[in-house]
Amino acid sequence: MNVASYFENASHVGAPEEAARFAASYGDRQDEWWRACPCGSWLIWVAGNCGVDPALLVAAACDCARQSLVYLPPGETRPESVIAVAESWIRERATVDECRQAGDSIGAIQRDIGDRLQDASLAPIPGIFPAAAMMAAAAAEMPAMAAAFSGDPTLCANFASQAAARAAAAARFAVDDQEWWAMQARCAERVRRRIPELIG
């Protein structure tokens, strides 16, 4: 199957036009594309659409989301706890309902983080950028939601790929556009550690 076809109507994966162009150069050579792909969100999306085990997608999503935790305010551990619920699901120690509840908690966590950072606006926390912190929390939500919807391959792949996309967005907000690509590259390496080959 032509790799580019996976990116039709896939705006959620991050840089979809670049994804389609990059994939088009590989035609139907999926193995070559898999080894060369520079973006974690693209890899997870294609893996999900190729029937890769949802547990592997969630594991990769957890690894990607964890990369963005550095953008949270010091001492803010709740997003990491949400990721941990998804990791427990992988080990069959959490239910899909628990994952959904954990994912749903992120909205309140984001509001709390926003209030906390707003209170610190007159004396900003060094190295912490509100938009990056909010996006890092959003990244933490995605593995839990991928686990919650593991019975729906498309939704699972969508949520899991968003973990990498939002981690990259957090990096962009904290640094610049180049860091978006750098974060995606780090996520891509972590995805390939979990899923060395594109086999469903």
**Per-residue model confidence as pLDDT tens digits over 13-24:** 666 788 888 999
Q: Is 200 a domain residue?
A: no
110 lies in which domain range? 3-194
Distance CA 40, CA 160 (A): 10
| pLDDT given for residue 179 in this prediction | 94
Per the structure, how many domains does the chain have?
A: 1
| pLDDT given for residue 120 in this prediction | 58
Interval 171-183: pLDDT, tens: 999 999 999 999 9
3-state helix, strand, coil split of the chain in percent (to 5) is 70, 0, 30
Q: Is 102 a domain residue?
A: yes
Q: How far apart are the first and last CA of the chain?
A: 14
Q: Is the pLDDT of residue 127 over 80?
A: no
Between 47-51, 116-120, 180-184, the lowest mean confidence (pLDDT) is in 116-120
**pTM for this prediction:** 0.92
Q: Is 199 a domain residue?
A: no
Q: Is 154 a domain residue?
A: yes
Interval 156-171: pLDDT, tens: 999 999 999 999 999 9
Which pLDDT band holds residue 54 (cuts at 50, 70, 90)? very high
Tell me the residue type at 140. A
Residues 188, 14: contact at Cβ < 8 Å?
Answer: no
Q: Is 84 a domain residue?
A: yes
Residues 150, 83: contact at Cβ < 8 Å?
Answer: no
Most confident option among 5-14, 45-54, 78-87, 105-114: 78-87
